[in-house]
Amino acid sequence: MTMNVPFSAEGGGAIDQGHPHQGKVSPFEPGDPNVKLDNTAVETLQSGKPYQTQIQHGTSGRGLVVQDVHAPTDVVWERILDYDNYAKMVPNTVESKNYNVTKKDAKSG
């Protein structure tokens, strides 16, 4: 299974000034991530390492990490959805908290 985890970050500013955002990342939309991997990315993945890059969009940007994960799909999703514990699993993460959790059963989508 290949895991593609996008991260977003807005451009920083002075701590005493307002920001044009509310500190929230846009909700995840399931589906094809539409990410094209160049030869460098493919070689990195084939060597067993995660491929990491940053993508700038004006004053904001996002980080992209792609990694081949050799684990059952349900285990991978458990880790991805365990956002409150990312600081224990993702290097250089200081804190992560869900601001809203809506539980849905598989049948209702």
Q: Could you read off the pLDDT of 32-85 as tens digits, one per residue?
A: 777 889 999 999 999 999 999 888 877 777 788 899 989 999 998 899 889 899
**Looking at per-residue confidence, does 90 or 1 come out higher?**
90
Helix (H, G, I), strand (E, B), or coil: what is residue 87? helix
Whole-number pLDDT of residue 78: 92
Consecutive H or E run containing 77: helix 73-81
pTM of the model: 0.50
Distance CA 106, CA 91 (A): 31
8 Å CB contact between 64 and 4: yes
In the chain, the percentage of residues whose pLDDT exceeds 90 is 24
